[in-house]
Amino acid sequence: MTAVQLRGVYVPLVTPFADDGSIDFASLQRLAHESLDAGAAGLVALATTGEVTSLTEAERAGVVQALSEVSADRGTPLIVGAATNDTATTVARHEALADVPAVVASLAVVPYYVRPSEAAIVAHFEFVSERSPVPLVVYNIPYRTGRGLGAASLLELAAILGVAGIKQAVGSLDADTLTVLAHAPPDFAVLGGDDAFLAPLVLMGGAGAVAASAHLCTDRFVAMIDAALAGDAAHARPHAEALLPLVLALFAEPSPAILKAVLHAEGRISTPSVRMPLAAASSAGADAALAAFRAASAVTLAS
């Protein structure tokens, strides 16, 4: 395992579907190139936004291969979602990343549904990290998993050699997050996972973001995070203010339905389809997000 320094904006790509329901790999790779062209530091495969729980094992492998090809060609890092709610499968999925080009880390969600104790979750990640060929980015998202990690547990994870960082998505910039930002080792990357709070998190010491909203206005998200990384709140703030209505509109209904509707309306994916049990975006939701996207795009980066 080699050390990895995660910094900047990582785009967790949607999984585009064709009319027959199969994965549209051409659109997936095109989205990947567009994100990198706009300044994204890297890509994330098999994240929540990619509807990973609705993909077959063969489809999962195909998505990783497609994004590995792009990332290797571009010389950019790829993070792969490789965890589930049982430890044995999580280890197996990590081991499968050993020979995949361009993969620098996994995205490893806190085990969901079974609700283990925080101590058991830390033990789970330590066990996985000892067997993984790549470092872990722990995904702390309690409103999806039913179990969150507080500051003490997150700092325990930060001390584990094979844990490179966290994607922190707790619905706010809370005291636990601020405590971790203040006390974690300098090489431990705290990445924002709630798109409305990215700028303040980075200004307080975060390393960047895994931002689904950054499929759109990617250059503006990059400019915001770059300014925040430089400690330049005055330049980060106008971007954050311009992007907030878009972020709120994209998450007004279960993600990634509205995001896919906007990407389709912009001609970037062939269909807006999501897989059941998700439902397609409502017309009102899609229209509101499209209007917010166009408004954010109309404001110049220099503002």
Residues forming beta bridges with residue 44, ordered by sequence position:
12, 79
- Based on the residue annotation, tell me whether 113 is a catalytic residue of this protein: no
Residue of 112, 113, 139, 260 marked catalytic: 139
Neighbours of 275 (CB within 10 A): 12
Phi and psi of 10, rounded to 5°?
Answer: -115, 130
Residue 139 appears among annotated catalytic residues: yes
Provide DSSP, 30-60.
HHHHHHHHTT-SEEEES-GGGTGGGS-HHHH
- d(CA 44, CA 67) in angstroms, rounded, equals 8
- Please tell me what DSSP assigns to residue 271: -
CB crowding 48-76: b at 16 or more within 10 Å, else e: bbbbbeebeeebbebbbebbbbbbeebeb
Compute the distance between CA of residue 104 and CA of residue 82 in angstroms, rounded to an integer.
12
Helix and strand numbers (H, E) in the chain are 12, 8
Q: How far apart are CA 262 and CA 254, in angstroms?
A: 14
Contacts of 289 (CB under 8 A, 6+ apart): 246, 249, 250, 252, 258, 259, 261, 262, 281
User: From the CA atom positions of the chain, what is the Rg in Å?
Assistant: 18
Rounded Cα distance between 268 and 30, Å, is 8
User: Looking at 10, 112, 113, 167, which residue is catalytic?
Assistant: 167
Which residues are part of the catalytic machinery? 139, 167
